[in-house]
């Protein structure tokens, strides 16, 4: 069992203020596989104080951006050497199939470190513009102390999407991992220390909701970077609004995959299986509404059903597994509740349903609904599990209408033999990220959503800019 009895605050491993602990339970075996301290408000106070001291008086914000980029490069080298270990920890603690952990859960955070280390070599901190009476210097400065509140589904990805640009910008940070997935943050803290990042610049305290809200509300925090549910995002936005505190929010999604009539279904299913069912369906970007024309509706239902039937459901540590367990019993019950809702609403489960595939572990049967409409709850609400609804459309205009008829606007895809026509479709769907014949989160490009999917952007130069304040200095002559 992986057991830790300290928190990473001020560059040291320190004893927690309280005696509470967090048990990490394997979603596959339902056994305790790890234990860490449960951070309290007092721990958050100490972490914010350390980050505040490091920002206000330490060397990190006063280094040049290329100097900070060089430190990120050292951190990336350390991360590269341990990414296999990181993938195994994430699979252990939250049930992500090991192939997905090895393909995305660990490599993508490494890619972010490498990207921002390279960007920092040339990113303009100052630029000159003509003014009325002389030149104006536009300067970019770090926003300050950042609170990073992250979910359990892709824990290192979401930590690094905040940590890497925040560090490059010159910010200091307090990271609050989710209580379901605190274990992967410990090797990260070890790497931060080994890379030579100054004390107090990075602080990591796993905790529950109450301590997390204390962190978000803390007057010593200048910006909140949050990924999670839309409901929690609204609460955080309200707190930040009251305090005029900067925030970026990456929230929920209910993305639509538009299957055009010229799509080669057999070749598309390989990429669509990743886009719709990655990480056991526990992904905000998952393409869970499959839109098919009435001309080919039955074909699409058969193809999607065959795709899902072909995915092995079981032990996430087995490389042959395509779909593992859900993260917690409450998540298992939530997803099964939506399957029942879909059946009650009149949709037909052509694959899956309410019979559990395994007696032990928090598994649900991957489910494909036919006969669904976009008005059903299974098409409107984020389920966060391996449940797909195939929805018919009349023509392309109707497909775009259905795709846009959602409270969310995080992601989407179109599947077609004509890539340029696919681009035309992509331009008409109101989503922050989109794919033609695949879905990818590109490190070099902004990631975020329209509507209830959030505020602001992460990744790319835009992700760095969200951790910077802009200062204009005008002068005479």
Active-site residue list:
250, 284
Nearest to 276, CA basis, from 109, 438, 104? 438
Q: Is 10 helix (H, G, I), strand (E, B) or coil?
A: coil
Helix H or strand E segment including 42: helix 41-57
Interatomic CA distance for residues 27 and 364, integer angstroms: 12
Q: Is 130 helix (H, G, I), strand (E, B) or coil?
A: strand
Q: How far is Cα of residue 336 from the mean position of the Cα atoms in its chain?
A: 23
Could you tell me the sign of the dihedral formed by the alpha carbons of 381, 387, 391, 396, in that order? positive
DSSP 369: E
Q: Is 413 helix (H, G, I), strand (E, B) or coil?
A: strand
The total of other beta-carbon atoms located within 10 Å of residue 476's CB is 8
Whether the CB-CB separation of 352 and 308 falls below 8 Å is answered with yes
Interatomic CA distance for residues 98 and 347, integer angstroms: 32
Show Cβ contacts of residue 400 under 8 Å, excluding neighbours closer than 6 positions. 258, 425, 428, 429
Nearest to 402, CA basis, from 269, 257, 285? 257
Q: Is 25 helix (H, G, I), strand (E, B) or coil?
A: strand
Show Cβ contacts of residue 25 under 8 Å, excluding neighbours closer than 6 positions. 31, 32, 33, 328
Interatomic CA distance for residues 440 and 449, integer angstroms: 14
Q: Which residue has the tokens 């839309």?
A: 230
């Amino acid at each position: 069992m992986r057991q830790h009895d300290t928190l990473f605050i001020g560059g040291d491993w320190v004893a927690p203020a309280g005696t509470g602990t967090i048990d990490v339970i394997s979603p596959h075996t339902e056994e305790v596989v790890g234990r860490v301290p449960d951070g309290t408000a007092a721990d958050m106070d100490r972490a914010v104080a350390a980050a505040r001291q490091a920002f206000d008086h330490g060397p990190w914000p006063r280094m040049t951006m290329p100097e900070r980029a060089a430190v990120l490069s050292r951190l990336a080298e350390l991360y590269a050497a341990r990414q296999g270990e990181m993938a195994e920890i994430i699979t252990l603690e939250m049930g992500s199939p090991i192939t997905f952990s090895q393909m995305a859960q660990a490599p993508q955070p490494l890619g972010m470190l490498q990207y921002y280390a390279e960007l920092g070599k040339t990113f303009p901190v100052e630029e000159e513009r003509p003014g009325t009476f002389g030149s104006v210097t536009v300067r970019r400065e770090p926003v300050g102390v950042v609170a990073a509140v992250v979910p359990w589904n892709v824990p290192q990805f979401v930590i690094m999407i905040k940590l890497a640009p925040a560090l490059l910008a010159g910010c200091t940070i307090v990271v609050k991992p989710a209580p379901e997935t605190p274990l992967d943050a410990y090797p990260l803290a070890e790497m931060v220390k080994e890379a030579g990042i100054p004390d107090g610049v990075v602080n990591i305290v796993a905790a529950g909701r109450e301590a997390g809200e204390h962190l978000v509300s803390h007057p010593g925090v200048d910006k909140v970077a949050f990924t999670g549910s839309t409901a929690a995002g609204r609460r955080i936005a309200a707190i930040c609004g009251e305090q005029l505190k900067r925030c970026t929010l990456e929230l929920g999604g209910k993305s639509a995959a538009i299957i055009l009539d010229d799509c080669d279904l057999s070749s598309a299913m390989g990429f669509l299986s990743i886009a719709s069912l990655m990480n056991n369906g526990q992904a905000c970007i998952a393409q869970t509404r499959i839109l098919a024309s009435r001309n080919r509706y039955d074909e699409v239902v058969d193809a999607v059903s065959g795709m899902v039937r072909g995915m092995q459901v079981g032990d996430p540590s087995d490389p042959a597994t395509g779909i593992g367990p859900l993260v917690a019993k409450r998540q298992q019950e939530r997803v099964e509740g939506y399957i029942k809702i879909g059946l009650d609403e009149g949709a037909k489960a052509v694959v899956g349903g309410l019979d559990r595939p395994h007696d032990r572990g928090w598994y649900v049967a991957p489910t494909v609904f036919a006969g669904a409409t976009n008005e059903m709850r299974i098409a409107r609400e984020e389920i966060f599990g391996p449940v797909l609804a195939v929805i018919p459309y009349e023509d392309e205009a109707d497909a775009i209408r259905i795709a846009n008829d959602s409270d969310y606007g995080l992601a989407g895809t179109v599947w077609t033999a004509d890539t340029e026509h696919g681009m035309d479709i992509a331009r008409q769907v109101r989503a922050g990220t989109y794919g033609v014949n695949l879905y990818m989160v590109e490190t070099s490009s902004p990631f975020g959503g329209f509507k209830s999917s959030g505020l602001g952007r992460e990744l790319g130069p835009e992700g760095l800019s969200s951790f910077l304040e802009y200062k204009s200095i005008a002068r005479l002559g």
